Structure 1
Amino acid sequence: MELIGHVKNYEWGKLGDESYVARIAAANQTDGTFVVDANKPYAELWMGTHCSGPSLVKQSGLELGSVIRPQEQPTYLFKVLSIQKALSIQLHPNKMEATALHAKFPDIYKDPNHKPELAIALTEFKAMCGFRRYTDIYSQLQNWPELQALLGADEIAKTNVPEDEENYEVREVMRNLYSSLMNLEPEQLEKCISSMHNKILAKPEKSSLDQLFLELHNDFGSDVGLLSIYFLNVLDLQPGQSIYLAANVPHAYIRGDCVECMSCSDNVVRAGLTPKFKDIETLLRLVEVKSASPESLMCEPIVKDPKRQPYTRTYCPNDPWLLEFSVSMLTVPPGVNDYPITNGINGSILLVTAGKGTLRGNVKNITVQFGSIVFLSSEAGAELQLWRNSEDLNEEFVAYLAMQREKV
């Protein structure tokens, strides 16, 4: 059945037609009921049954959750994001911690669930994720006497160890450095960041990290999150590249458009780039300070069935706790008129981002094109066929398919 996604107009979203979300939403509602406002931010498009933004069945206007069987209720929330201004630096507790936090602080942590997330770039996409290699952090901090004075040059020097010597003791030093950073007084932050800002402005040539500092300073002033760019990896993803955000890994989306899939939870522990509440005690207790290379943070997709489905790549994070979702990307090239699509045992949600075709299964055929959102019931069959007529064969067909993860 065809769906209408729920649009969120958060202030960090891209404006008007610059937003991928706005273009998808406008194409999805071809009856003219959705009109793009050039001065309005379009941040997120939600696809699923989340109570804060349920999808509607296009034909009836009913909420998706009210018309599908209990076993087909999505265990995930599928999204498109269009980001103009960085989101907060944050992490998400694991299932056990989420349960405990919800029981103790239900007004802050609204549910007992974990919140693993998978982001797949639709356009060039910038994000922060995970602690840099410690030698890299050391090198970054050597450039700034302001940070050395606040955090302690001797303590910083203890982290200058190669990856194979990064042990528990060194990680505790890094945890203490990060704790010192997060507990700086506002006056200390203001003085430090102001001095660094003036130095960067005076540079005749600015690095990409300098440019990011200036961008974040323009949006967030003397927020502690500005200094996190010297601790966390800054990743530049190309379309199709992906990162997986496991429990306790600090991260922030900075700029660009992506498809995101996450478990249904609202539990967030914030660490900066936000005026919202920061639970520093919980943050410092949970944060994963183990270093990681940018390459290791990428979630590489695999082709599960090269013979029958060579154009289907599935993103399979190596996380035994992830049970709620998996996402596949279909990139069917021009000239292929018939292609199999695997459905989930409890159904799936399909989002089309390029091309046109017809879905054929055990239910009524559905014509899909850019902007189409379809819930594929398990009654549609374990496998459907994408059929394209001669007029559709001149362009590539691209779609993203979210479903509950198979047990492994």
Structure 2
Amino acid sequence: MELEGNVKNYEWGKLGESSEVARLVKANNENFNILNNTPYSELWMGDHGSGPSVVKSSGQVLGEVYKQRLPYLFKVLSVRKALSIQVHPNKEEATRLHKERPDLYKDPNHKPELAIALTPFMALCGFRPYSEIHRFCEEIPPLKELLGGDAVVNGLSNGSVDDLKKCYQTLMTANSATVSSIIDTILKDYDNVLLKYSLQDIFITINSDFPGDVGVLSLFFLNLLYLQPGESIYLGANEIHAYLSGDCIECMACSDNVIRAGLTPKFKDVKQLLASLNYTGSPASSKLFQPKELDENSKLFAPPIPDFAVVQISLSPSSPSASEYTLKLPQSPGILLVLSGSRTLRLKGHSDLVLKRGSIVFIPPENMNNIELLNLDKKNTDFNAYLATGNSFN
């Protein structure tokens, strides 16, 4: 059955027609009116209570038609300015936080997530190798002084987890006036360091959007990743991260729990973030998540958790499967999103459905083992789609 997703208008989203979220929604619903100065940040596809999808033909929410809860939440994000420095709790923490503060933590579930770039995409993800953080401290003395000087910072060169904890906790709890002053000093006196490590533009941009925010200095602690379309990152529980710019597909466990501590006007739970963090340092390249080829037309992104997996489908007119392509997957509920092109979807026991850009389709578990995509009109165009499902692949 065809669905309409739920649109979120968070302030950090791309505006108007520049948002892929807005363009996809418009493609799926010609009556949708895109407003030029409105942010269209997220498109939710699933049955989460904070933004359930609805069935196009009836207007019913998905959960009323498919009675079993989906284990995942499927999204498209269009990022204009940085999201918060954040982590997502593990299941044990999520249960406790939801019980203690249900106003902040909306459900008791964990929230591992996968992001796949649709356009050039920039993100902070995980701690840098300790040696890199130490190098920044040596080359920017005001930063080292803030963190406690040689007595603390030198431990980073020896890979001391305790010293990284001390440094980052000192940073995140520092006086806001002190942080703002150090940022100004770096811009004035250490722009050569920013240039040397290709950080000047993003440092200036984030500080412009969040003046004097402690999250600006997190650039010296966290890996900065530049993803090209099709590249992905997987974020397990308590992995610190922040999306900075671009458009992406995102899939996660069915949760909306976020522990924030910087680059946000929302509530900052700094104490909880510092307690939850995974302080492991690793190079930026290690954060890229590699898909597996299912066949020449499909790639599988299957993280090491049972909640979700994502299949990328790419059909070109020159492919041997251009006219008829069949995908056979484990029986788990699926949601298909079409990004470009047109095909006819054929599922046993259902009427044929013409797919086009923006189409969102729920596929019942019993149909996942025989998904037919047919080019009945013999259109000479590429077809690109993503399919979210439960993870029975590992």
Query: 1:329 aligned to 2:319?
Result: no
What CA distance in whole angstroms lies between the structure 2 residues aligned with 1:230 and 1:271? Answer: 16
- Residue number in structure 1 paired with 2:109: 113
In structure 2, runs of 5+ residues without a counterpart are none
Query: 1:211 aligned to 2:209?
Result: no
CA deviations over 1:192-245 (Å, ceiling 9, x no partner)? 112112235699967531111100010000110000000000000000000001
Question: Number of residues paired by the alignment?
Answer: 389
What CA distance in whole angstroms lies between the structure 2 residues aligned with 1:63 and 1:344? Answer: 25
Among 39, 42, 48, the residue aligned to 1:41: 39
Question: How far off its partner does 1:353 sit?
Answer: 0.6
- Residue number in structure 1 paired with 2:224: 234
What CA distance in whole angstroms lies between the structure 1 residues aligned with 2:334 and 2:79? Answer: 26
What CA distance in whole angstroms lies between the structure 1 residues aligned with 2:24 and 2:180? Answer: 41
CA deviations over 1:57-84 (Å, ceiling 9, x no partner)? 11111111111242xx311110000000
- Residue number in structure 2 paired with 1:389: 376
Give the aligned residue type for 1:329: Q
Among 285, 292, 296, the residue aligned to 2:286: 296
Q: CA RMSD in A?
A: 1.8
The normalised TM-score by structure 1 is 0.91
Among 281, 284, 287, the residue aligned to 2:274: 284
Matched-pair contact (CA < 8 Å) for 1:200–1:210: no
Q: 1:61 to 1:104 in 2, by over 3 A?
A: closer
Matched-pair contact (CA < 8 Å) for 2:126–2:282: yes
Matched-pair contact (CA < 8 Å) for 2:98–2:106: yes
What CA distance in whole angstroms lies between the structure 2 residues aligned with 1:334 and 1:135? Answer: 49
Question: How far off its partner does 1:40 sit?
Answer: 1.4
CA deviations over 1:177-199 (Å, ceiling 9, x no partner)? 11111110112112211211223
Query: 1:401 aligned to 2:387?
Result: yes
- Residue number in structure 1 paired with 2:145: 149
Question: How far off its partner does 1:264 sit?
Answer: 1.6
What CA distance in whole angstroms lies between the structure 2 residues aligned with 1:192 and 1:259? Answer: 36
- Residue number in structure 1 paired with 2:171: 181
Question: How far off its partner does 1:343 sit?
Answer: 4.6
Task: State the SS of the aligned residue for 2:157.
Answer: coil
- Residue number in structure 2 paired with 1:370: 357
CA deviations over 1:342-362 (Å, ceiling 9, x no partner)? 355232000011111101121
Q: 1:54 to 1:119 in 2, by over 3 A?
A: same
What's the % identity of the aligned pairs? 46
What CA distance in whole angstroms lies between the structure 1 residues aligned with 2:15 and 2:365? Answer: 37
In structure 1, runs of 5+ residues without a counterpart are none
Among 335, 348, 373, the residue aligned to 2:334: 348
Give the aligned residue type for 1:80: V
Moved over 4 A (4+): 200-207
What CA distance in whole angstroms lies between the structure 2 residues aligned with 1:186 and 1:381? Answer: 53
Among 157, 161, 179, the residue aligned to 1:160: 157
Among 85, 99, 102, the residue aligned to 1:103: 99
Question: How far off its partner does 1:120 sit?
Answer: 0.3
Give the aligned residue type for 1:211: D
- Residue number in structure 2 paired with 1:18: 18
What CA distance in whole angstroms lies between the structure 1 residues aligned with 2:361 and 2:28? Answer: 10
Give the aligned residue type for 2:169: S
Matched-pair contact (CA < 8 Å) for 1:48–1:77: yes
Matched-pair contact (CA < 8 Å) for 2:302–2:391: no
- Residue number in structure 1 paired with 2:242: 252
Among 40, 52, 56, the residue aligned to 1:58: 56
The normalised TM-score by structure 2 is 0.94
Q: Which deviates further from its counterpart, 378-387 or 14-23?
A: 378-387
